[in-house]
């Protein structure tokens, strides 16, 4: 006697066949009810998100209207920025502050004294803090036109010299600019541009006989300055093992990015960054009476003391 065999099951189910996952099968009416409630919940969430977005956008628009825009040039013309080590001798740090504050008060400028600990430098040397410090100062004083970074290793020695007439006036700057010269002496193939108008310059810096010298430099407030400082502070540069940290990073940027070099003016070192000691430019870098600034590069390293080296110059200022 033969019995009919059930149809043989294939190991290859047809495309899109529903697979039994061992779950509980719900009645169709209940499944439809759950689907409808899920749709309502999704619609409700989307409506709530849209409402919150519209309310937030409305407040943001009102805030943008109510917040006054500060025009560059509407505030004090110059802000002097000096980063101070919080571990430094407080008496010496106060002398540095007073040196800048007296000068600023005389000419209607402002001062700003942050510390390296205010900025997230990761594992970069604290000298990098000068870059975010300038960005910070621009945020605090958006109406000012120029921001002068002056390292704590420097002293203003001729307080009667006004930075605007001494350096920043476009005609004066054009007369001072060193054009068609290697950015990094003595033989860099990248040279400063010629025939640039002083009014188009946004970064003013000096060089000593080893390279650029950003112990004293000026940045003009504006979108280019923000772009420049953000590029300079890029994590790639901070993590790269440059021998001179931010100084070599700056040299790299201005040599290999035309948008930077086109806004750069090199001026004689004794204009606002004369060296009382160190690798001064052979032509115009050594400090002499009447120079605006005396700088002591590296006085805070290798067992040296800025306080000790600057003391005779503080005494000279007191006598004056």
Number of domains in the chain: 1
For residue 278, is pLDDT > 90? no
What pLDDT is recorded for position 261? 94
Q: How far apart are CA 172 and CA 162, in angstroms?
A: 12
Q: Is residue 51 part of a domain?
A: no
pLDDT, tens only, 16-71: 344 444 445 556 665 665 566 666 565 555 556 555 554 554 343 344 344 468 99
Contact between residue 135 and residue 118 where contact means Cβ atoms under 8 Å apart = no
Task: Kindly report the CATH number assigned to the domain that includes residue 148.
Answer: 3.90.550.10
* Residue 9 pLDDT: 41
User: Which pLDDT tens digit goes with each residue over 116-158?
Assistant: 999 999 899 999 999 999 999 999 999 999 999 999 999 999 9
- For residue 266, what are the domain limits? 78-319
d(CA 217, CA 226) in angstroms, rounded, equals 15
Q: What mean pLDDT do residues 99-111 have?
A: 98
What's the pLDDT score for residue 17? Answer: 41
Helices (H) and strands (E) in the chain, counts: 10, 9
Which of residues 173 and 301 earns the better pLDDT score?
173
In a domain, residue 52? The reply is no
Q: Is residue 49 part of a domain?
A: no
Instruction: Tell me whether residue 36 is in a domain.
Output: no
Q: For tokens 């010269």, name the residue.
A: 181
Question: Which pLDDT score is estimated for 35?
Answer: 65
Confidence of residue 265 (pLDDT cuts 50, 70, 90): very high
Residue 267 forms part of a structural domain: yes
């Amino acid at each position: 006697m033969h019995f009919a065999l059930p149809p043989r099951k294939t190991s290859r189910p047809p495309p899109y066949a529903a697979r039994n996952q061992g779950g509980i099968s719900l009645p169709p009416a209940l499944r439809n009810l759950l689907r409808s409630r899920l749709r309502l919940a999704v619609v409700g969430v989307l409506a709530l998100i849209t409402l919150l977005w519209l309310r937030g956008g409305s407040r943001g628009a009102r805030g943008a209207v109510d917040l006054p825009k500060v025009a560059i040039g509407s505030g004090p013309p110059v802000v002097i920025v000096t980063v101070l080590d919080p571990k430094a001798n407080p008496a010496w740090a106060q002398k540095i502050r007073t040196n800048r504050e007296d000068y600023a008060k005389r000419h209607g400028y402002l001062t700003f004294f942050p510390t390296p600990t205010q900025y997230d430098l990761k594992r970069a040397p604290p000298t990098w803090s000068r870059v975010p410090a300038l960005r910070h100062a621009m945020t605090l004083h958006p109406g000012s036109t120029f921001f002068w970074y002056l390292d704590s290793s420097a002293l203003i020695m001729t307080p009667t010299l006004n930075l605007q007439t001494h350096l920043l006036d476009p005609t004066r700057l054009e007369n001072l600019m060193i054009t068609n010269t290697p950015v990094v002496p003595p033989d860099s193939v990248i040279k400063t541009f010629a025939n640039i108008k002083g009014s188009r310059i946004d970064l003013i810096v000096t060089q000593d006989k080893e390279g650029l010298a950003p112990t004293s430099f000026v940045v003009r407030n504006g979108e280019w300055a923000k772009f420049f400082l953000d590029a300079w502070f890029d994590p790639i540069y901070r993590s790269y093992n440059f021998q001179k940290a931010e100084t070599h990073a700056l040299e790299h940027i201005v040599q290999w990015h035309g948008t930077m070099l086109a806004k750069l003016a090199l001026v004689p070192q004794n204009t606002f960054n004369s060296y009382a000691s160190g690798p001064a430019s052979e032509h115009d870098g050594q400090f002499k009476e009447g120079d605006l600034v005396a700088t002591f590069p590296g006085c805070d390293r290798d067992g040296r003391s800025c306080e000790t080296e600057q003391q005779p110059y503080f005494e000279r200022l007191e006598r004056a």
